[in-house]
Structure 1
């Protein structure tokens, strides 16, 4: 697994951990922003919209910032089911389509330029969805509202501005 994949996996695990030593930076519609000065890191996060489809776990999207590592706006997803190795999960925001990398229930952008394109699309979009095929051969989709996403990402950016110094 490459370093980007390890960092994305670590982001998912860190975000999923109990809220010990985390500061809330605010809740903006369906998105929240948090800071963890002990790591240091900040992130914007949202749960997927409710669904009647089978879910093995609660899906969520996160945009992470690790100022001491020079990482800004790293996009990652925790999927509602374990995805099959192929085809890759797909993120759709409006008319934009992004092929994601992934393993099991985790998915992430392939590189920094894709992270930046996704963040820009999120700022302009109203909804996004991540679709994949599960390990049983069934297609599934996790859907998100984007109201508040831009403000939560801005709060995370500002919240981490001084942590990297």
Structure 2
């Protein structure tokens, strides 16, 4: 794979995972492997990405289509809320860890989802995302095997900024 085709494949992969939910959403842009959307009806805006591709065997073992998102919910006064849809269903009570550069965070969650434990952790993770190259979320699947979902962060900061601006009061007024 050439270095030129890699960003195209990431964009295509991101578009495929987002194709179904896009019906009522406005695209705010695609930035490397990340995209930003606004759903003015809710209202909410978010940056979203798929993890790095894994081998065919690992993809067949997935329980869910994984993604990472950072959302803004202006009517709930929530900005920068991190969410991971994991590739595997978790064993009950499993520890979920996120590694970002030299930092490590213990996330909370269950089933196939993970979040920061509080808004302060959301803010710390998002700050780290702005300067790291990648992040990896890991845990123990219901099958008893460890798994990891790895995300490249090129374009993440721009997508997060676009989603924040997309949910600014003036932007939402223009969409109603």
Larger radius of gyration: 2
Pairing partner for 1:32 from 31, 35, 49 = 35
What residue in structure 2 maps to residue 23 of structure 1? 26
Name 2:127's counterpart in structure 1. 120
Aligned length: 150
| Contact 2:133/2:154 (8 A) holds in 1 | yes
Deviation at 1:17, TM superposition (A): 6.0
Q: CA RMSD in A?
A: 1.5
CA distance in 2, matches of 1:159, 1:39: 13
Structure showing the higher helix proportion among its residues: 2
SS at match of 1:18: helix
Structure 2 regions of 5+ residues with no counterpart?
1-17
Give unpaired runs (5+ residues) of structure 1.
Answer: 1-14
The DSSP-based 3-state class of the residue aligned with 2:158 is: helix
Q: Which residue does the alignment assign to 2:86?
A: 79
Shift of 1:87: 3.1
Cα deviation 1:10-36 (Å, max 9, x = unaligned) = xxxxx8962222000000000000000
Is contact 1:77-1:108 (8 Å) kept?
yes
Alpha-carbon distance in 2 for matches of 1:158, 1:107: 25
For the 8 Å contact 1:48–1:58, the answer to whether it is kept is no
TM-score normalised by length of structure 1: 0.87
Structure-1 separation of matches of 2:99 and 2:121: 13
One of 52, 55, 59 as aligned partner of 2:62:
55
Residue 143 of structure 1 pairs with residue 150 of structure 2: yes
Within the candidate set 94, 105, 108, 2:101 is matched to 94
Q: Distance in 2 between matches of 1:110 and 1:58?
A: 23
For 2:21 and 2:163, locate their aligned partners in 1 and report how far apart those are by CA, in whole Å: 18
Verify the 8 A CA contact 1:123 1:149 in the aligned structure 2: yes
